[in-house]
Amino acid sequence: MSALIEIRDMYKIYNPGENEVYALDGVSLTIEEGEFVAVIGHSGSGKSTLMNMMGCLDTPTEGTYLLNGRDVSGLTDNELSDIRNEEIGFIFQGFNLIANLDALANVELPLIYRGIDRHTRREVAAESLELVGLGERMRHKPAQMSGGQQQRVAVARAIAARPPVILADEPTGNLDSRSTEEILGILKELHRSGRTVIVITHDSEIAAQAERVIRIKDGRITEDYKNSVQEGTERC
Ligand SMILES: Nc1ncnc2c1ncn2[C@@H]1O[C@H](COP(=O)(O)OP(=O)(O)O)[C@@H](O)[C@H]1O
Ligand SMILES: [Mg+2]
């Protein structure tokens, strides 16, 4: 069986020439199905660039990327957009919900892109919202919900189409500590139920909850270790 994510010798160079920035400077990385991974590093270390690559939101300057066994390194924008719909559920720091749609309609969006019929869409979206504890808030619009609730809607949207990968960039960056706990609890629950969860964060407390931690600095992986819940941190 091939890995879910396999990145080999990846480079992303912004502004080639005089002011060039190696946002990714030779990254190789394998993530298996079912892992819960935190990617950590200071601001400017290349976390979002790596997330954009893993999420097929951007293409590398050099290197290869196999997602779910398929080489996506050289695909066109349209092809990447199809891959994103099929393979990835995104969660962003700013929730990125559509303001004039209620929770249910927001969660239905990725299902529409997948061509799922109206009835099934409703059912699946409602189930996803129940799963994140928002069964009573389905008809609320984003502005009628707290930040934590909005992020839970975004999680429901990310998981609704059951994509193989859930990718979150600073998902708790705009949340208070209570909502942060809630979102973390949901991500851990998703992992326990077999989903692959990748969280990009600069928060070491969040990283401590993940199963595996990858540290990135100046576009390079400097640490890659497993957290062990009972015995503290075990380096490998
Ligand atoms: N579109 C861009 N153009 C030029 N430089 C960029 C661009 N995006 C990011 N960078 C630079 O690449 C480096 C990594 O950025 P980023 O991946 O956003 O880091 P992080 O998410 O860890 O804060 C930084 O030096 C940043 O300034
Ligand atoms: Mg970032």
Residue whose CA is at the smallest distance from ligand 1 atom 2 = 14
- 126-148 pLDDT, tens digit per residue, is 999 999 999 999 999 999 999 99
- Cα-to-centroid distance, 222 and ligand 1 (Å): 18
| C-beta atoms surrounding 25 within 10 Å | 17
- 176-235 pLDDT, tens digit per residue, is 999 999 999 999 999 999 999 999 998 888 899 999 999 999 999 999 999 986 444 445
| C-beta atoms surrounding 23 within 10 Å | 24
pLDDT given at position 228: 81
pLDDT at 89 over 70: yes
- 24-49 pLDDT, tens digit per residue, is 999 999 999 999 999 999 999 999 99
Residue whose CA is at the smallest distance from ligand 1 atom 3 = 14
25: which strand partners? 11
Strands 220-228 and 232-234 turn out to be antiparallel
Ligand 1 pocket, mutate which of 48, 52, 54, 222 (most atoms under 8 A from CB): 48
- Cα-to-centroid distance, 134 and ligand 2 (Å): 28
pLDDT at 174 over 60: yes
SS3 212: strand
Task: Please identify every residue whose CB atom is under 5 Å from ligand 2, which is an ion.
Answer: 47-48
48 lines ligand 1 (CB under 6 A): yes
Rounded to two decimals, the pTM is: 0.93
pLDDT given at position 167: 97
89 lines ligand 1 (CB under 6 A): no
